[in-house]
Protein backbone atom coordinates (compact mmCIF):
# COMPACT_ATOMS: atom_id res chain seq x y z
CA UNK A 1 0.00 0.00 0.00
CA UNK A 2 1.35 3.44 -0.92
CA UNK A 3 1.56 5.82 2.01
CA UNK A 4 2.24 8.83 -0.21
CA UNK A 5 0.10 11.87 0.58
CA UNK A 6 -0.29 14.71 -1.90
CA UNK A 7 0.04 17.21 0.92
CA UNK A 8 3.48 15.93 1.88
CA UNK A 9 6.39 18.19 1.07
CA UNK A 10 8.31 17.01 -1.97
CA UNK A 11 12.06 16.90 -1.79
CA UNK A 12 13.46 18.67 -4.83
CA UNK A 13 16.24 16.88 -6.61
CA UNK A 14 19.31 19.11 -7.00
CA UNK A 15 20.10 20.12 -10.59
CA UNK A 16 22.39 17.79 -12.50
CA UNK A 17 25.61 18.97 -14.13
CA UNK A 18 27.37 17.73 -17.25
CA UNK A 19 30.66 17.26 -15.38
CA UNK A 20 31.49 16.08 -11.88
CA UNK A 21 30.85 18.85 -9.35
CA UNK A 22 34.45 18.80 -8.18
CA UNK A 23 35.06 20.83 -5.03
CA UNK A 24 38.03 23.23 -5.28
CA UNK A 25 40.68 23.23 -2.56
CA UNK A 26 41.70 26.08 -0.26
CA UNK A 27 38.73 28.43 -0.69
CA UNK A 28 39.02 31.28 1.84
CA UNK A 29 42.75 30.76 2.50
CA UNK A 30 45.90 32.36 1.03
CA UNK A 31 46.69 29.00 -0.56
CA UNK A 32 43.54 28.67 -2.67
CA UNK A 33 43.75 26.43 -5.73
CA UNK A 34 44.22 28.06 -9.12
CA UNK A 35 41.67 27.65 -11.89
CA UNK A 36 44.32 26.02 -14.09
CA UNK A 37 44.95 23.37 -11.41
CA UNK A 38 41.21 22.82 -10.94
CA UNK A 39 40.70 22.28 -14.69
CA UNK A 40 43.53 19.71 -14.87
CA UNK A 41 42.05 17.75 -11.96
CA UNK A 42 38.61 17.96 -13.58
CA UNK A 43 39.92 16.59 -16.88
CA UNK A 44 41.81 13.79 -15.13
CA UNK A 45 38.82 12.66 -13.09
CA UNK A 46 36.91 12.21 -16.38
CA UNK A 47 39.90 10.38 -17.95
CA UNK A 48 40.04 12.96 -20.75
CA UNK A 49 43.02 14.95 -22.04
CA UNK A 50 42.71 18.66 -21.16
CA UNK A 51 42.84 19.79 -24.78
CA UNK A 52 39.91 17.52 -25.67
CA UNK A 53 37.81 18.84 -22.78
CA UNK A 54 38.65 22.38 -23.82
CA UNK A 55 37.73 21.81 -27.44
CA UNK A 56 34.46 19.98 -26.80
CA UNK A 57 33.00 21.79 -23.78
CA UNK A 58 34.82 25.07 -23.09
CA UNK A 59 35.30 26.40 -26.62
CA UNK A 60 31.52 26.78 -27.32
CA UNK A 61 31.45 29.51 -24.66
CA UNK A 62 34.17 31.43 -26.53
CA UNK A 63 33.08 33.91 -29.19
CA UNK A 64 36.24 35.04 -31.00
CA UNK A 65 36.58 38.33 -32.76
CA UNK A 66 37.00 38.52 -36.52
CA UNK A 67 40.82 38.67 -36.14
CA UNK A 68 41.01 35.75 -33.70
CA UNK A 69 40.91 32.01 -34.16
CA UNK A 70 38.93 29.67 -31.96
CA UNK A 71 41.71 27.07 -32.28
CA UNK A 72 44.02 29.32 -30.26
CA UNK A 73 41.61 28.92 -27.37
CA UNK A 74 42.43 25.19 -27.09
CA UNK A 75 45.97 25.92 -25.85
CA UNK A 76 45.06 28.30 -23.04
CA UNK A 77 44.63 25.50 -20.51
CA UNK A 78 48.44 25.15 -20.41
CA UNK A 79 48.95 28.75 -19.30
CA UNK A 80 48.44 30.28 -15.82
CA UNK A 81 46.71 33.22 -17.54
CA UNK A 82 43.31 31.50 -17.19
CA UNK A 83 43.62 32.27 -13.47
CA UNK A 84 44.15 36.00 -14.03
CA UNK A 85 41.83 39.00 -14.18
CA UNK A 86 40.92 39.42 -17.85
CA UNK A 87 38.05 38.40 -20.11
CA UNK A 88 39.67 34.99 -20.72
CA UNK A 89 39.36 33.82 -17.09
CA UNK A 90 35.80 35.16 -17.08
CA UNK A 91 34.93 32.84 -20.00
CA UNK A 92 36.51 29.83 -18.26
CA UNK A 93 34.79 30.58 -14.95
CA UNK A 94 31.37 30.95 -16.60
CA UNK A 95 31.85 27.76 -18.62
CA UNK A 96 33.08 25.62 -15.71
CA UNK A 97 30.40 27.02 -13.41
CA UNK A 98 27.68 25.89 -15.81
CA UNK A 99 29.35 22.54 -16.48
CA UNK A 100 30.09 21.61 -12.85
CA UNK A 101 27.53 23.58 -10.86
CA UNK A 102 30.20 25.06 -8.58
CA UNK A 103 29.33 28.69 -7.84
CA UNK A 104 32.60 29.83 -6.23
CA UNK A 105 35.07 29.22 -9.07
CA UNK A 106 35.65 32.98 -9.35
CA UNK A 107 37.69 32.65 -6.15
CA UNK A 108 40.21 30.49 -8.04
CA UNK A 109 41.22 33.52 -10.12
CA UNK A 110 42.10 37.18 -9.60
CA UNK A 111 38.76 38.31 -11.06
CA UNK A 112 37.69 39.87 -7.72
CA UNK A 113 40.44 42.47 -8.38
CA UNK A 114 39.31 43.08 -11.96
CA UNK A 115 39.34 46.82 -12.62
CA UNK A 116 41.62 47.47 -9.65
CA UNK A 117 44.89 45.79 -10.65
CA UNK A 118 46.08 46.05 -14.28
CA UNK A 119 46.29 42.67 -15.98
CA UNK A 120 49.48 43.46 -17.97
CA UNK A 121 52.13 40.88 -16.97
CA UNK A 122 50.06 40.06 -13.89
CA UNK A 123 50.23 36.30 -14.40
CA UNK A 124 53.32 34.23 -15.05
CA UNK A 125 53.86 32.77 -18.51
CA UNK A 126 55.10 29.45 -17.09
CA UNK A 127 54.36 27.10 -14.20
CA UNK A 128 56.01 27.53 -10.79
CA UNK A 129 55.63 25.53 -7.62
CA UNK A 130 56.98 24.95 -4.12
CA UNK A 131 58.26 21.34 -3.92
CA UNK A 132 57.87 21.24 -0.13
CA UNK A 133 54.23 22.38 -0.29
CA UNK A 134 53.50 19.70 -2.91
CA UNK A 135 55.13 17.08 -0.66
CA UNK A 136 52.93 18.04 2.28
CA UNK A 137 49.80 18.09 0.12
CA UNK A 138 50.65 14.67 -1.34
CA UNK A 139 51.01 13.25 2.16
CA UNK A 140 47.54 14.65 2.93
CA UNK A 141 46.16 13.07 -0.23
CA UNK A 142 45.06 16.27 -1.98
CA UNK A 143 47.90 17.79 -4.03
CA UNK A 144 47.10 20.83 -6.14
CA UNK A 145 48.68 24.06 -7.43
CA UNK A 146 48.26 27.39 -5.63
CA UNK A 147 46.91 30.52 -7.28
CA UNK A 148 49.74 32.34 -5.52
CA UNK A 149 52.33 30.49 -7.60
CA UNK A 150 50.79 31.66 -10.90
CA UNK A 151 51.36 35.37 -10.15
CA UNK A 152 54.43 36.64 -11.95
CA UNK A 153 55.81 38.80 -9.12
CA UNK A 154 55.80 35.89 -6.65
CA UNK A 155 59.14 34.07 -6.72
CA UNK A 156 59.19 32.47 -3.26
CA UNK A 157 57.02 30.38 -0.95
CA UNK A 158 55.93 32.55 2.00
CA UNK A 159 55.48 29.48 4.21
CA UNK A 160 58.76 27.59 3.64
CA UNK A 161 60.87 30.66 2.69
CA UNK A 162 62.34 28.94 -0.39
CA UNK A 163 62.44 29.92 -4.05
CA UNK A 164 59.74 28.58 -6.32
CA UNK A 165 60.91 25.96 -8.82
CA UNK A 166 59.97 26.18 -12.50
CA UNK A 167 61.58 23.05 -13.98
CA UNK A 168 61.74 19.43 -12.92
CA UNK A 169 65.37 18.90 -13.92
CA UNK A 170 64.70 15.55 -15.58
CA UNK A 171 67.16 14.55 -18.34
CA UNK A 172 66.05 14.36 -21.96
CA UNK A 173 66.46 10.58 -22.11
CA UNK A 174 63.68 10.20 -19.50
CA UNK A 175 61.21 12.29 -21.48
CA UNK A 176 57.91 10.55 -22.18
CA UNK A 177 55.93 10.66 -25.37
CA UNK A 178 53.25 13.38 -25.35
CA UNK A 179 50.70 10.59 -25.78
CA UNK A 180 51.73 8.99 -22.47
CA UNK A 181 51.92 12.12 -20.29
CA UNK A 182 49.34 12.50 -17.54
CA UNK A 183 48.48 16.17 -17.03
CA UNK A 184 48.13 16.95 -13.34
CA UNK A 185 49.30 19.98 -11.33
CA UNK A 186 51.83 17.99 -9.29
CA UNK A 187 53.32 15.94 -12.14
CA UNK A 188 56.07 16.87 -14.58
CA UNK A 189 54.83 17.20 -18.16
CA UNK A 190 58.09 15.79 -19.51
CA UNK A 191 58.91 12.73 -17.39
CA UNK A 192 55.55 12.23 -15.63
CA UNK A 193 57.10 12.03 -12.13
CA UNK A 194 56.03 13.95 -9.04
CA UNK A 195 57.32 17.52 -8.62
CA UNK A 196 57.44 17.18 -4.83
CA UNK A 197 60.87 17.16 -3.20
CA UNK A 198 62.22 16.71 0.32
CA UNK A 199 64.32 19.25 2.19
CA UNK A 200 67.94 19.00 1.14
CA UNK A 201 67.22 18.39 -2.54
CA UNK A 202 69.61 20.35 -4.84
CA UNK A 203 66.67 22.12 -6.48
CA UNK A 204 65.61 23.74 -3.17
CA UNK A 205 67.17 27.16 -2.57
CA UNK A 206 66.55 29.57 0.28
CA UNK A 207 64.68 32.66 -0.88
CA UNK A 208 65.90 36.20 -0.32
CA UNK A 209 64.25 38.40 2.30
CA UNK A 210 62.80 40.64 -0.42
CA UNK A 211 61.21 37.75 -2.33
CA UNK A 212 59.76 36.33 0.90
CA UNK A 213 58.35 39.73 1.83
CA UNK A 214 56.71 40.14 -1.59
CA UNK A 215 55.21 36.64 -1.44
CA UNK A 216 53.79 37.33 2.04
CA UNK A 217 52.14 40.58 0.90
CA UNK A 218 50.55 38.92 -2.14
CA UNK A 219 49.40 35.95 -0.04
CA UNK A 220 47.69 38.34 2.38
CA UNK A 221 45.98 40.02 -0.60
CA UNK A 222 44.66 36.67 -1.85
CA UNK A 223 43.35 35.94 1.64
CA UNK A 224 41.10 39.04 1.42
CA UNK A 225 39.84 38.11 -2.06
CA UNK A 226 36.43 36.95 -0.83
CA UNK A 227 35.70 40.39 0.62
CA UNK A 228 36.75 42.13 -2.59
CA UNK A 229 34.41 39.93 -4.63
CA UNK A 230 31.59 41.72 -2.83
CA UNK A 231 33.15 45.19 -3.21
CA UNK A 232 33.83 45.04 -6.96
CA UNK A 233 33.76 48.38 -8.72
CA UNK A 234 35.18 50.45 -5.86
CA UNK A 235 38.87 49.78 -6.49
CA UNK A 236 39.63 52.94 -8.48
CA UNK A 237 37.98 55.23 -5.93
CA UNK A 238 39.74 53.40 -3.12
CA UNK A 239 43.16 53.90 -4.74
CA UNK A 240 42.47 57.60 -5.32
CA UNK A 241 41.37 58.00 -1.69
CA UNK A 242 44.51 56.24 -0.44
CA UNK A 243 46.92 58.47 -2.35
CA UNK A 244 44.91 61.57 -1.43
CA UNK A 245 45.41 60.64 2.22
CA UNK A 246 49.12 60.13 1.57
CA UNK A 247 49.36 63.62 0.07
CA UNK A 248 47.69 65.01 3.20
CA UNK A 249 50.32 63.28 5.35
CA UNK A 250 53.01 64.88 3.20
CA UNK A 251 51.65 68.36 3.99
CA UNK A 252 49.62 68.64 0.78
CA UNK A 253 52.72 68.48 -1.45
CA UNK A 254 52.49 65.97 -4.29
CA UNK A 255 56.22 66.19 -4.95
CA UNK A 256 57.03 65.23 -1.37
CA UNK A 257 54.58 62.31 -1.43
CA UNK A 258 56.07 61.04 -4.73
CA UNK A 259 59.58 61.37 -3.32
CA UNK A 260 58.54 59.32 -0.30
CA UNK A 261 57.58 56.42 -2.59
CA UNK A 262 60.56 56.91 -4.90
CA UNK A 263 58.46 57.51 -8.03
CA UNK A 264 58.21 60.35 -10.49
CA UNK A 265 55.74 63.14 -9.81
CA UNK A 266 53.86 62.50 -13.07
CA UNK A 267 53.39 58.83 -12.24
CA UNK A 268 52.14 59.61 -8.74
CA UNK A 269 49.80 62.28 -10.12
CA UNK A 270 48.28 59.70 -12.50
CA UNK A 271 47.57 57.38 -9.56
CA UNK A 272 46.11 60.26 -7.55
CA UNK A 273 43.70 61.34 -10.31
CA UNK A 274 42.84 57.82 -11.44
CA UNK A 275 44.24 58.35 -14.94
CA UNK A 276 46.05 55.03 -14.66
CA UNK A 277 46.23 52.33 -12.00
CA UNK A 278 49.38 51.09 -10.25
CA UNK A 279 50.43 47.62 -11.28
CA UNK A 280 50.85 44.89 -8.69
CA UNK A 281 54.61 45.55 -8.48
CA UNK A 282 53.89 49.18 -7.59
CA UNK A 283 51.24 48.19 -5.04
CA UNK A 284 53.74 45.87 -3.38
CA UNK A 285 56.35 48.65 -3.31
CA UNK A 286 53.91 51.14 -1.74
CA UNK A 287 52.73 48.58 0.82
CA UNK A 288 56.33 47.77 1.74
CA UNK A 289 57.31 51.41 2.17
CA UNK A 290 54.28 52.34 4.27
CA UNK A 291 54.13 49.02 6.18
CA UNK A 292 50.49 48.40 5.29
CA UNK A 293 48.67 45.53 3.50
CA UNK A 294 47.89 45.88 -0.20
CA UNK A 295 44.20 45.50 0.61
CA UNK A 296 44.28 48.85 2.45
CA UNK A 297 45.44 50.58 -0.74
CA UNK A 298 42.55 49.13 -2.75
CA UNK A 299 40.05 50.00 -0.03
CA UNK A 300 41.36 53.55 0.40
CA UNK A 301 42.54 53.16 4.00
CA UNK A 302 45.48 55.58 4.00
CA UNK A 303 48.00 55.36 6.89
CA UNK A 304 47.59 57.88 9.68
CA UNK A 305 51.34 58.23 10.22
CA UNK A 306 54.40 57.61 8.06
CA UNK A 307 56.60 54.91 9.65
CA UNK A 308 60.05 56.10 10.71
CA UNK A 309 62.48 54.76 9.71
CA UNK A 310 60.95 53.42 6.54
CA UNK A 311 61.01 49.60 6.53
CA UNK A 312 61.78 49.55 2.83
CA UNK A 313 62.56 52.28 0.34
CA UNK A 314 63.01 52.11 -3.40
CA UNK A 315 65.84 54.09 -4.93
CA UNK A 316 64.49 56.79 -7.15
CA UNK A 317 65.46 56.83 -10.79
CA UNK A 318 68.37 59.21 -11.20
CA UNK A 319 67.45 62.46 -12.95
CA UNK A 320 69.59 64.55 -15.29
CA UNK A 321 70.80 67.01 -12.67
CA UNK A 322 72.31 64.33 -10.46
CA UNK A 323 73.90 62.61 -13.45
CA UNK A 324 75.99 65.52 -14.71
CA UNK A 325 78.86 64.86 -12.32
CA UNK A 326 78.72 61.05 -12.51
CA UNK A 327 78.97 60.27 -16.23
CA UNK A 328 82.32 58.56 -15.80
CA UNK A 329 80.99 56.33 -13.03
CA UNK A 330 77.88 55.45 -15.05
CA UNK A 331 80.03 54.57 -18.07
CA UNK A 332 82.14 52.24 -15.95
CA UNK A 333 79.04 50.53 -14.59
CA UNK A 334 77.60 50.12 -18.08
CA UNK A 335 80.86 48.63 -19.33
CA UNK A 336 80.77 46.09 -16.49
CA UNK A 337 77.15 45.19 -17.26
CA UNK A 338 78.08 44.80 -20.91
CA UNK A 339 80.31 41.85 -20.01
CA UNK A 340 77.53 39.87 -18.34
CA UNK A 341 76.21 36.70 -19.90
CA UNK A 342 73.47 36.31 -21.00
CA UNK A 343 73.40 39.91 -22.26
CA UNK A 344 71.08 42.39 -20.59
CA UNK A 345 68.61 44.57 -22.42
CA UNK A 346 69.09 48.33 -22.32
CA UNK A 347 66.08 48.64 -20.03
CA UNK A 348 67.44 46.08 -17.56
CA UNK A 349 70.83 47.78 -17.51
CA UNK A 350 69.27 51.17 -16.88
CA UNK A 351 67.15 49.78 -14.05
CA UNK A 352 70.16 48.18 -12.33
CA UNK A 353 72.17 51.40 -12.18
CA UNK A 354 69.19 53.76 -11.79
CA UNK A 355 69.42 55.56 -15.14
CA UNK A 356 66.62 56.00 -17.66
CA UNK A 357 67.10 54.78 -21.23
CA UNK A 358 66.60 58.22 -22.78
CA UNK A 359 69.56 59.61 -20.86
CA UNK A 360 71.70 56.60 -21.87
CA UNK A 361 70.80 57.05 -25.54
CA UNK A 362 71.72 60.74 -25.46
CA UNK A 363 74.96 60.49 -23.44
CA UNK A 364 76.29 56.98 -24.12
CA UNK A 365 75.30 56.32 -27.71
CA UNK A 366 78.14 53.84 -28.31
CA UNK A 367 77.30 51.68 -25.30
CA UNK A 368 73.59 52.03 -26.04
CA UNK A 369 74.10 50.64 -29.55
CA UNK A 370 76.31 47.83 -28.25
CA UNK A 371 73.70 46.82 -25.66
CA UNK A 372 71.04 46.70 -28.37
CA UNK A 373 73.22 44.66 -30.71
CA UNK A 374 74.27 42.09 -28.11
CA UNK A 375 70.74 41.67 -26.78
CA UNK A 376 69.29 41.33 -30.29
CA UNK A 377 71.87 38.69 -31.18
CA UNK A 378 71.10 36.81 -27.95
CA UNK A 379 67.37 36.86 -28.68
CA UNK A 380 67.96 35.56 -32.20
CA UNK A 381 70.07 32.67 -30.89
CA UNK A 382 67.45 31.83 -28.28
CA UNK A 383 64.71 31.93 -30.93
CA UNK A 384 66.74 29.62 -33.17
CA UNK A 385 67.31 27.20 -30.29
CA UNK A 386 63.59 27.17 -29.44
CA UNK A 387 62.75 26.51 -33.08
CA UNK A 388 65.19 23.60 -33.25
CA UNK A 389 63.76 22.20 -30.02
CA UNK A 390 60.23 22.48 -31.41
CA UNK A 391 61.25 20.72 -34.62
CA UNK A 392 62.84 17.91 -32.60
CA UNK A 393 59.67 17.61 -30.52
CA UNK A 394 57.52 17.37 -33.66
CA UNK A 395 59.90 14.82 -35.16
CA UNK A 396 59.71 12.59 -32.07
CA UNK A 397 55.91 12.81 -32.03
CA UNK A 398 55.74 11.93 -35.74
CA UNK A 399 57.98 8.90 -35.23
CA UNK A 400 55.87 7.80 -32.27
CA UNK A 401 52.77 7.93 -34.49
CA UNK A 402 54.56 5.97 -37.20
CA UNK A 403 55.62 3.26 -34.71
CA UNK A 404 51.97 2.72 -33.84
CA UNK A 405 51.14 2.28 -37.54
CA UNK A 406 49.42 5.65 -37.99
CA UNK A 407 50.30 7.93 -40.90
CA UNK A 408 51.89 11.17 -39.57
CA UNK A 409 49.73 14.13 -40.58
CA UNK A 410 49.50 17.67 -39.32
CA UNK A 411 46.14 17.06 -37.65
CA UNK A 412 47.33 13.95 -35.82
CA UNK A 413 50.51 15.71 -34.71
CA UNK A 414 48.46 18.63 -33.42
CA UNK A 415 46.35 16.23 -31.35
CA UNK A 416 49.42 14.38 -30.08
CA UNK A 417 51.12 17.62 -29.04
CA UNK A 418 47.89 19.13 -27.68
CA UNK A 419 47.93 22.11 -30.02
CA UNK A 420 51.53 23.14 -29.21
CA UNK A 421 52.79 23.07 -32.81
CA UNK A 422 52.75 26.83 -33.29
CA UNK A 423 52.93 26.40 -37.10
CA UNK A 424 51.04 29.51 -38.13
CA UNK A 425 53.37 30.90 -40.81
CA UNK A 426 53.96 29.42 -44.27
CA UNK A 427 57.56 28.56 -43.36
CA UNK A 428 56.45 26.63 -40.27
CA UNK A 429 53.79 24.77 -42.25
CA UNK A 430 56.41 23.89 -44.84
CA UNK A 431 58.72 22.59 -42.10
CA UNK A 432 55.92 20.46 -40.67
CA UNK A 433 55.13 19.04 -44.11
CA UNK A 434 58.79 18.19 -44.60
CA UNK A 435 58.95 16.40 -41.23
CA UNK A 436 55.88 14.33 -42.09
CA UNK A 437 57.36 13.32 -45.46
CA UNK A 438 60.71 12.47 -43.83
CA UNK A 439 59.11 10.17 -41.27
CA UNK A 440 56.88 8.58 -43.93
CA UNK A 441 59.99 7.69 -45.94
CA UNK A 442 61.77 6.33 -42.84
CA UNK A 443 58.89 3.97 -41.99
CA UNK A 444 58.00 3.05 -45.58
CA UNK A 445 54.62 4.77 -45.85
CA UNK A 446 55.48 6.11 -49.34
CA UNK A 447 56.25 2.73 -50.86
Whether residues 395 and 329 share a domain: the answer is no
Task: Say yes or no: 202 and 58 in one domain.
Answer: yes
Same-domain status, 120 and 187 = yes
Give the domain range for residue 371: 320-378
Residue at which a domain ends, from 271, 301, 316: 316
Are residue 113 and residue 177 in the same domain, yes or no? yes
Q: Is 221 in contact with 117 (CB distance < 8 Å)?
A: no
User: Which pLDDT does position 221 carry in this prediction?
Assistant: 92
Q: For the chain, what is the domain count?
A: 4
Last residue of a domain, one of 231, 247, 277: 231
Q: What's residue 214's pLDDT?
A: 93
Whether residue 127 lies inside any domain: the answer is: yes
* Predicted pLDDT at 35: 94
207 and 344 housed in the same domain:
no
Beta bridge partners of residue 194, listed in sequence order: 187
112 and 255 share a domain?
no
pLDDT reported for residue 401: 85
Pair 151, 300 in one domain = no
Give the model confidence (pLDDT) of 46-71 as tens digits. Answer: 998 898 898 888 888 877 654 455 56
Overall size of the chain counted in residues: 447
Query: At how many degrees (to 10) do helices 280-290 and 254-261 cross?
Result: 100
Picking from 204, 231, 258, the residue at the C-terminal end of a domain is 231
Name the stretches of the chain with pLDDT < 70: 1-11, 64-74, 172, 226-234, 307-325, 418-429, 446-447
269 close to 254: Cβ distance less than 8 angstroms: yes
Nearest to 137 by CA among 101, 184, 100: 184
Domain membership of residue 419 (yes or no) is: no
| Residues 113 and 78 both lie in one domain | yes
288 contacts 217 by C-beta, under 8 angstroms:
yes
CB hemisphere CA count around 274 (13 angstroms): 14
**pLDDT score of 148:** 95
In a domain, 120, yes or no: yes
CATH of the domain at 265: 1.10.260.40
**CA R_g for the chain:** 26
The per-residue pLDDT for range 385-426, each reduced to its tens digit, is: 888 888 888 888 888 888 888 888 877 877 777 555 554 444
pLDDT score, position 72: 63
Q: Do residues 275 and 368 both lie within one domain?
A: no
Q: Contact at 8 Å (CB) between 397 and 413?
A: yes
**Nearest-angstrom CA–CA distance, 122 and 50:** 24
3-state SS, 319-384, equals: CHHHHCCCHHHHHHHHHHHHCCCCCCCHHHHHHHHCECHHHHHHHCHHHHHHHHHHHHHHHHHHHH
Co-location of 137 and 35 in the same domain: yes
- Based on the domain organization, do 167 and 32 belong to the same domain? yes
94 and 158 inside one domain: yes
The pLDDT score that the predictor gives to residue 198 is 86
Amino acid sequence: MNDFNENDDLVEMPPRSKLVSLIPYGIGTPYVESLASYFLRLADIHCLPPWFLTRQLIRPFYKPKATQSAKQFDRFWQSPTISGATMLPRIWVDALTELTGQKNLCQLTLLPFEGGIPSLNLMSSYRKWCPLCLLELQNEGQPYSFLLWDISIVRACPFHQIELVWKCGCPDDQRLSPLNVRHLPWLCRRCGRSLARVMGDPSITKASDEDSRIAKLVADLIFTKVEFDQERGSHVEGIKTFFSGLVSLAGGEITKAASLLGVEKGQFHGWLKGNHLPRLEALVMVASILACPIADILRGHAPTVIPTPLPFHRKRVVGKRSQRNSKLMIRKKLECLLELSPPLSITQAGWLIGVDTKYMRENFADLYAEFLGRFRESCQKASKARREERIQLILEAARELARTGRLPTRRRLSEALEGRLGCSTPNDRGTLKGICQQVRREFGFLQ
